[in-house]
Chains A and B, each alone.
Chain A
């Protein structure tokens, strides 16, 4: 890791100004929220914006409020540690609170924001390397379009891995995200924000700014998150299971969302597991079967920490345990 390269630093006072600056500088510019991902990437020369647009001074991005209908609206710049200690989150969204506590370290959560974590760049052990290392393999397609994907050299696409802890559970909960662009704002489901591609992993336009995240009102459902990583801190997930189950009054599952993070370029739905659960009460056998059904969609590749086959083989155990945690 080198020292930071030289760049110009902008501090717009509103979302509209931020979007305008981004439009003005185009590819030379990048937004920065907490900087816990962008700055290390710049030190490795993975990203070298000459214009960095800080969102720190945009007041509307720091808002955090419970809406009259019970939904929770979180500004994209609200820090992870603020959320981690926010009583409403602990009370009504323990699954998300747990996921946030699993992100990196307390120090990085003091800087990191929910918006930044939702937009976290995909990761790959062929990509998250210093410039000189990537030179030695003649780069990969995420660094240099004409190069190959070293994980799957025959593949036309990039297989970098979705590595945010909040994404699987936010998607499973069916949260909504709001984007501000040049032509106003639009709202979409969290799932719709992501693409199955390591490079174009977001559906948002480059100048669009993620402004807020809205969580559904609590009641009738329960979400959980279970993370696989080598160490109990620092590490990105190499498997992150987000589960959200809706129950009727008798404990019968009426709807199930299961997302596999760290196992592909987006939070992959474990559709077959979801289908198995709907219409039944949770029993140990059913949970185990739903877990087993998640092995197939877990598309682990050899581009993260820990053995690729092992990660796939233990995915059912993690999925089953995440489901059990929704009981």
Chain B
């Protein structure tokens, strides 16, 4: 492949934006409801998921998992299992002693627990057999002896239990992380406040519930090369974890192929023990090995929403402007680190990008507990504080007699500005979002009216807003490399093939490559071949997480396509004897703008260019802009751009039982520019659905029982039937508004849409319940029982509220130490902390 002249298109786009200012009418494919490149196969049931893959001589693997919440492994006897006919391989923790984990700072997982189990479901033994049923039967023949350790079941217990520790790293005891960041002068902010509120909120954990259960097929071939097909959102990170644990097998002999995902939502973003076990088992047996997890095992993989306890003290002026925000979060992390360090920071990062916050103090603590590990779920770490903030603002509007919508509109964070915590806001369409849903829902006329339905239910409307990032500014592991790379190959047939490491988890990222490249090269997007998520064939993309793919892969694709276009223009210009700058790429042709008849087909353009310069291939890559936040911990939160959402939710509450339904939702989302409005609306409605589930019912709840000295601590009911998630019957009518306010950092101005619109659902439901029946539920999910309990309290003349104790007893006592102090931009701050002992030490060196 011949590389083109890299100077032909600018690598940094400071002065050359990503075509964000292109007029809608000048775009041929972008914005149009073109079908997804993989839509037909999916609809017809032809897509092959990981569990559909089969290889000759393939073995089936099962994992024996811990039945104890917290215990030391005393002994493992696999002799009976080994003797069972059909069993071909057995692995235990000692076979894979190297720990791994998604973040370099928490390499605390093992493919199989070597000495200790930390939750019911932790894997201990892997067995492969010719039949899946045999492997399962063999697991039942293994004798594992445990020595039980004290179970740590909540943030309160973790804060009060220094010994035993789940891990021998972390801050102290069972505290995994402590963060303490102060931006500006809190005391001054509260002094200037005309109204101060303190509230305590609880957000129960919940899980992703993808339709597809995780599955992996691994094949270590006779040439010493390992191929792993897996339902993963992050093939690159899995590649790294495999190379680490399977060393000395070199990384270049490992190939990871991310198979089409049947839903991810963040639940397939970590490298998993079953993936590593399948690879190792194939190396051990010399045969392909497959594992398909059961639904219960998907609950053990988890990495879902952290349960978070929050205490928020907020000071506002009479118009609701936030002069000071003092926010504490206590995260129940579960048994391992996973993305938890990032999750902790995210509970404090994005409060500042919706409404101006003048002074801000964030304290976050993450604890280890004996539960399935938490991690990133759609909205990663931000829905919990968003719930707290949006409910608290609703209460403030009520206290001050303001319209909650107008109060928000009056205090929006300004566009093109730096926030108190040095996040750089670009385009900002929240105002337009609020106006749309206020108008659409009849907010001004209908709010507070408490209309009664025919069947005696009381109507209410609730409003909430949110923001989310379009990809993280920093990669998971420290490096200065691009976050996304795209290679284009142009064939004499006219075929354009795009190679990219990005992973389509249903959101449409494969299609986005096609649409952007098709737009730039003036060819049919559906004619472009897309090869993705294969570490042997495709350049690295960090993965499908943190809503990064449209912006990052999209920009890389645009750069590669522009370079291809420039190269073809050079070739065609010479052939037609017209200046390259006059050439237009459209309708599968390249032609002279001044004489459209003069031109050639796209295929001929490729042929004549190849004749002149040799085989044609171009590359593009993307690295996000440098962050303004230079303080320690400032790596979490910065993003090329922020999306905005606003929702109005209508509820109908049965005052006798607390049972309510949600008949209608109005959701507006500022997407920058919709690359495909139909797909964007699908993401928005999907978010409404998932958010509704979190708001109404979803709970990663645990059974905590003791009998004769033994404590049983296990997920309450890990099944698709009993882990309640809404059905089609609960899905409300959705009125969706796509707000376009192009952002200069996104391809054609695009921002994220996959996660942001989920966030307003939970607080909007809580606020709507208040509008209907005058009670506050300061806990998520806002389940029927809690509404009923608050109604009972109201009837008894007590505070009409359900939630954690709203004083210092509601949250654990934790010494957060001294905060890092960072001056805000308006105090003249430069984004560094002036009292960071680590930085001072480094500087001294």
Q: A5-B133, A310-B784, A310-B785 are in contact. Are A232 and B727 (CB under 8 A)?
A: yes
Q: Name A129's contact: one of B132, B717, B729, B789 (CB within 8 Å).
A: B717
The verdict on A137 contacting B724 (CB below 8 Å), with A3-B133, A232-B730, A307-B785 known, is: no
Q: Is residue B697 contacting chain A, with contact meaning CB distance below 8 A?
A: yes
C-alpha spacing A305/B716, complex, angstroms: 10
B 697-740 contacts with A by CB, 8 A: 697, 703, 705, 707, 712, 714-719, 721-722, 724, 726-730
Q: Let me know if A148 is at the binding interface, CB within 8 A.
A: yes
Measured in the bound complex, the distance between the Cα atoms of B788 and A148 in whole Å is 33
B68 within 8 Å of A (CB atoms): yes
Contact A125:B67 (CB < 8 A) given known A136-B120, A231-B724: no
Most chain A C-beta atoms within 10 Å of own C-beta, residue among B703, B788, B789: B703
Q: Does A110 contact B (CB under 8 A)?
A: no
B residues near A (Cβ < 8 Å) are: 65-68, 120, 132-133, 136, 294-296, 656-658, 697, 703, 705, 707, 712, 714-719, 721-722, 724, 726-730, 783-785, 788-789
Chain B, interface SS category? loop
Q: Which residues of B have CB within 8 Å of A233?
A: 727-729
Residues of A within 8 A of B729 (CB): 231-233
Cα of A150 to Cα of B136 in the assembled complex, Å = 26
Bound complex: CA of A150 vs CA of B697, how far in Å? 24
CA distance A128 to B703 in the complex (A): 14
| Residues of chain A from 297 to 320 with CB closer than 8 A to chain B in the complex | 305-307, 310, 313-314, 317
Contact in complex: B714, A133 (CB < 8 Å): yes
A231 touches B788 (CB 8 A): no
Contact status B716-A306, CB under 8 Å: no
Known: A310-B784, A314-B657. Contact between A1 and B295, CB under 8 A?
yes
Q: Does A11 contact B (CB under 8 A)?
A: no
A5 (CB) vs chain B CBs: closest residue: B133
By a CB distance below 8 angstroms, the chain B residues around A231 are 697, 724, 726-727, 729-730
| Minimal beta-carbon separation of B709 from chain A (angstroms) | 12
How many whole Å from B372's CB to the nearest CB in chain A?
A: 13
Would B727 and A317 count as touching, CB distance under 8 A?
no
The distance from the CB of B146 to the nearest CB of chain A, in whole angstroms, is 11
A6 contacts chain B at the CB level, 8 A cutoff: yes
- Chain A 83-95 interface mask (CB, 8 Å, partner B; 1/0): 0000000000000
B67 with A230: CB separation less than 8 A = no
Size category of the A interface is 20 to 34
Known A-B contacts A305-B724, A310-B785, A314-B788; A136 and B657 likewise in contact (beta carbons under 8 Å): no
Q: Which residues of B contact A5 (CB under 8 A)?
A: 133
Residues of chain B with a CB closer than 8 A to A313's CB: 788
Contacts of A279 in B (CB 8 A): none
Q: Which of chain A's residues has its CB closest to B657's CB?
A: A314
Give the docked Cα–Cα distance between A118 and B483 (Å): 59
Residue in A137, A234, A305, A310 whose CB lies within 8 Å of B712: A137
Q: Cβ of A306: which chain B residues have Cβ within 8 Å of it?
A: 784-785
Residues of B within 8 A of A135 (CB): 67
Asked if residues B65 and A1 are in contact (CB atoms below 8 Å), the reply is no
Among A95-147, those with CB < 8 Å from B are: 125-126, 128-130, 132-133, 135-137
B230 to chain A, nearest CB (A): 20
Which residue, of B658, B727, B730, B783, has the highest number of chain A Cβ atoms within 10 A?
B727
Q: Is A153 an interface residue (CB 8 A)?
A: yes
Q: Is the CB of B294 within 8 A of A136?
A: no
Q: Is the CB of B294 within 8 A of A234?
A: no
Q: Which residues of A contact B788 (CB under 8 A)?
A: 310, 313-314
**Contact (Cβ within 8 A) A150 B705:** yes
Q: Which 4 A-B pairs have the closest CB atoms?
A: A232-B729, A136-B67, A307-B785, A310-B785
**A130, B140: Cα distance in complex, Å:** 13
**Residue contact A234 to B727, C-beta cutoff 8 Å:** yes
- A150 in contact with B707 given A132-B67, A310-B785 (CB within 8 Å): yes
B717 contacts A230, CB within 8 Å? no
A2–B213 Cα distance when bound, in Å, is 12
Cβ distance A288 to chain B, nearest Cβ, rounded Å: 11
Residue of B697, B719, B728 with most partner-chain A CB within 10 A: B719
| A to B CB contacts below 8 Å, 7 in the list | A129-B718, A129-B719, A136-B68, A232-B727, A305-B724, A307-B783, A314-B657
Closest to A234 in B: B727
Question: Which of A1, A2, A125 is the one whose CB lies under 8 Å from B716?
Answer: A125
- Closest approach, in angstroms, between the C-beta of B291 and any C-beta of chain A? 13
The answer to whether A130 and B657 touch (CB under 8 A), given A135-B67, A150-B707, A231-B726, is no
Separation of A137 and B294 alpha carbons in the complex (Å): 19
Complex: chain B residue closest to A43, CB-CB: B294
A314–B656 Cα gap in the complex (Å)?
8
CB distance from A128 to the nearest CB of B (A): 7
Across-interface contacts of B67 in A (CB, < 8 A): 132, 135-136
Question: Which residues of B are found within 8 Å of A126, using beta-carbon distances?
Answer: 703
**Are A125 and B784 neighbours in the complex by a CB distance under 8 Å?**
no
